[in-house]
Amino acid sequence: MQLFRFANPVFLYLLLLLPVLILLYILNEVRKKNALKRLGNIKLVSRLVPEMSKIRPVIKFILQLIAVIAGIIMLSRPQFGSKIEDIKKQGVEVIIALDVSNSMLAEDIQPDRLTRAKQAISRLVDILDNDKIGLIVFAGDAYIQIPVTTDYISAKMFLSTINPNMVAKQGTAIGSAISLAMRSFSPGEGKSKAIIIITDGENHEDDPVKEAEEASKAGIVIHTIGIGSTEGVPIPIVNNGKKDYLKDAAGNTVITKLDEDILKKIALSTNGNYVRASNSNVGLDEIYNDIKKMKKQDLESTMYTEYNDQFQVFAGIALFLLIFDFMVMERKNRRLANIRLFKIKV
């Protein structure tokens, strides 16, 4: 889809000055005509000053006016179409595996576990420079939400859409998330690849420690962040427009607790770190500081830019018109007066 926009549309308000410029030009021409009348008969004055031209000042003004319009459009930075750039950088590849199961809606971390985790990831993306980032969401199954990329703008855009409804099967399949993350890295050495798992750790689906050991053999480091309380809290839901709490088949309120043991074992098996999140600090900054110490590798990526600047075209038009305006004199050149290329008197 081809799109068009102005990056700095506020400059378009300068176009409102065009009627003022036209009015000033007309008033100036009227003033000059009145001045000639005071000298005598206009036809007689024209014969006495044969170099005087009526049309050349008009042409020059039109050229200047169009140049001003092109300059204003240039300042407004018109952007059209799309641009795909191949970028080479040195950095590490980081895949964040984010738990989106219903238990992540618990409010022991404010405003809730999932929202707090998304906020922390968003801030992490803001400080990334040369590193690639990918995002996997998981509950009972794991899915790639963002393939590894350096397109941080798109990453933040997709991050904002994450919610528990995007994974139909509930549960917490940490092992599936690790396995999928391992397959999602760019092919090559694993010396600069890391996985960050953000979850409450209530794994009921698979054996995440076994998957972590496989990741360790591939040279991938796994860091884990435990988000939630070990005491346990209910899971809020909205039922008929009213706040309620999730219940099991027997009608008992479901209590979700942070399982730190499993997350510590996962991190330990790959020489990674475990951090417990709190309301004041999720722990991503601490883990990313460790990741930055890893050996960097050459990363290649294709970045999609939705809009491509086209202001250069209007800058060229404005420059050409100003040069042409400079070459066009208001008076006729006596030496060229008899040349009639188009047999039109100017």
pLDDT of residue 344: 46
Query: How far is 254 from 268, CA to CA, in rounded Å?
Result: 30
pLDDT at res. 227: 94
The ranges assigned to domains in the chain are 4-81+308-336, 84-303
Spatial distance between the Cα atoms of 244 and 238, rounded to a whole number of angstroms: 6
Quote the pLDDT of residue 153. Answer: 86
Tokens of 238: 């909205």
**pTM of the predicted model as reported, rounded to 2 decimal places:** 0.62
Interstrand relation of 4-6 and 78-80 (parallel, antiparallel or unpaired):
antiparallel
* Nearest alpha carbon to residue 248 among 138, 99, 103, 140: 103
Count of residues in the chain: 346
- Distance separating alpha carbons of residues 94 and 47, to the nearest angstrom: 82
CATH number for the region 84-303 comes to 3.40.50.410
Q: What is the pLDDT of residue 204?
A: 65
The predicted structure's pLDDT at residue 136 = 96
The pLDDT score that the predictor gives to residue 1 is 46
Per-residue pLDDT tens listing for the chain (346 residues): 446 778 888 899 999 999 999 999 899 888 877 776 666 665 665 565 555 667 888 888 899 999 999 999 999 988 876 666 666 667 889 999 999 999 999 999 999 999 999 999 999 999 888 888 999 999 989 999 999 988 888 888 889 899 988 888 888 899 999 999 999 998 865 568 999 999 998 776 778 999 999 999 999 999 999 999 988 899 998 878 788 898 888 889 999 999 999 999 999 999 999 999 998 899 998 999 888 888 776 666 555 556 677 888 888 998 998 888 888 766 555 554 554 544 544 4
- Give the span between the Cα atoms of 108 and 200, in whole angstroms: 11
Q: What CA–CA distance (Å, rounded) separates 247 from 231?
A: 18
CB 98 within 8 A of CB 198: yes
